Amino acid sequence: MTMDENEHQLLAVGLPETGKTSFIHAVDDLLQSPPTPEALRCYGLARDRSYLERDKASFRAGKKLVHTERSLQDPAPELWFEDPSTGRRGRLFLPDLRGEIFQDQWTDRRWTESFRDDLKTISGALVFVRADTPASNQELLGQMANWGPTDAKPAPWDPKKASPQVQLVDVLQFIGTQGQISRPLRVAVLISAWDTVGKPADLQPKNPNEFLAREWSLLDQYLRSNAETYVTKVYGVSALGGTEDELKELSRLPPQDRVNLVEDMRSSKDLTRPLRWLLKLD
């Protein structure tokens, strides 16, 4: 490692199926084909790319990726980046942990020692939510609305059916209170499947900040009220470019042309912008 290289480890947090794997693949491709002159770019490839290369063909073809099959002991995807404006280089480690690991943290109220120790070294965190998934359990709200006399035996409570944002806030609270993280820790909230926002008859806010405040209000309020622990920036992200049906047509385009990032109301093809902010390169 040369004098101007640094190692950075980011934590990717999200419940199952929130877009972590697709984002990592998209960033890997963008580093190799930078969308703008100022975007981060790769200066080499890590020696062990087995995990990234396993699903690369499927990602580039616009196919839905298989469920992440990694454990805490597996080596994290390693991306080598260079900042063209300063010449600074770094090696970025982005552990693609299964969403169930965070869900189990919520249900079991514990984590592994290795995960706890890894928190000491992270430079920032990426928190993933989906634009096309409700933050609350609407089906449970419907059951409550129809509450009335019944002879039916109530179903046992399953913690995994709790509101997604309740689970996510609890995970972040666990990290903030029990983890030995640097404070305040930079957190980039990535609202994946952003391509679904703005569809016909869609009334959701088109600004990611406003979207989070309205659709994921508990998460938004938690992050805002804990500024001593977390400093937050919100992005809308489309790592695939469209829905599964739309990708049949979009897959004709290179992956770097399908992606989209929205910061405030500014649109860009540069998915490395959240990484620049987390690593304090801007």
CA 153, distance to chain mean position in Å, is 39
Distance CA(130)–CA(116), nearest Å, equals: 26
* pLDDT of res. 3: 36
pLDDT (tens digit per residue) in 101-136? 888 888 888 888 888 888 999 999 999 999 988 887
At residue 2, the pLDDT reads: 44
| DSSP secondary structure letters along 5-22 | EEEEEEEEE--TTSSHHH
- Please classify residue 113 by burial: count the beta carbons closer than 10 Å to its beta carbon, then call 0-12 exposed, 13-18 middle and 19+ buried: exposed
* Structure tokens, 7: 């190692």
Q: Report whether CATH 3.40.50.300 matches the domain 5-138+175-278.
A: yes
Helix (H) or strand (E) holding 78: strand 78-82
Confidence check: pLDDT of 247 > 80: no
Confidence of residue 169 (pLDDT cuts 50, 70, 90): very high
At 281 the pLDDT is 87
* β-sheet bridge partners, residue 30: none
Q: How far apart are CA 72 and CA 78, in angstroms?
A: 15
Question: Alpha-carbon distance 204 to 215, whole Å?
Answer: 8
Contact 91, 44 (CB under 8 A): no
